[in-house]
Amino acid sequence: LGEGEETLAELTTLGARGRDVSQVNPAPPSWGEVKGIAFRRDGACVRTLPRSRIRQIDEIPEPNWDQIPLTQYLDHEMGFGVNRGRSMPILATRGCPYQCTFCSAPEMWTTRYVVRDPQMVVDEIEGYIERYKVENIDFIDLTAVVKRRWAIEFTNELIKRDLKITWQLP
């Protein structure tokens, strides 16, 4: 429930201690201590305390794509937008500052909107170009370019590094 990085790390730690985290019923008692999850215990739904939003999103490590058969996806042009060649997904922001009546984001994530450092985003993109020969970046953010200054800094960094890629927004 909510952001999953810290929750998943805690659940993985429980599994590493010899507990079967895939077992739904009965749940190990320590599951109730993990914030941000829901599970069944003795037939009843248990929802733990909410997990706080991650404040320093630049401290979240880049995805470790080497742990999955990524080239199979890249070679078969699996992407999220218009097919522009080898594409990688990326997140540059978290949240959305708006409260659109049709959208569940405010309920799920609150309206706290946080952007990553544009240079770090371009570092990640540059790494994908070098490692995976990507030609396109698919931003999968809720609202990637809400802050004009961020969009300009990001674009200037792409130009400065002469990265010849396309990028798309949802």
| DSSP per-residue string spanning 39-105 | EEETTEEEE-PPPPPPS-GGGSPPP-GGGTTHHHHHHTT--SSS--SSEEEE--EE--S---TT-SH
Kindly list the strands in the beta sheet with 166-168, ordered across the sheet, starting from the edge strand earlier in the chain: 87-90, 136-139, 166-168
43-78 tens-digit pLDDT: 999 999 988 888 899 999 888 888 888 888 888 877
The CA-CA-CA angle for residues 6, 127, 129, to 5°, reads 130
Query: What is the pLDDT confidence band of residue 80, given thresholds at 50, 70 and 90?
Result: confident
Rg, C-alpha atoms of the chain? 19
Q: What is the pLDDT of residues 102-140, one digit of tens each?
A: 988 888 778 888 999 999 999 999 999 999 999 999 999
Q: What is the mean pLDDT of the chain?
A: 86
Q: Are strands 38-41 and 44-47 parallel, antiparallel or unpaired?
A: antiparallel
Helix (H) or strand (E) holding 90: strand 87-90
Mean pLDDT of 2-7: 87
What is the mean pLDDT of the segment spanning 1-7? 87
pLDDT-based confidence at residue 85 (cuts at 50, 70, 90): confident
Give residue 16's pLDDT.
65
pLDDT at res. 123: 97
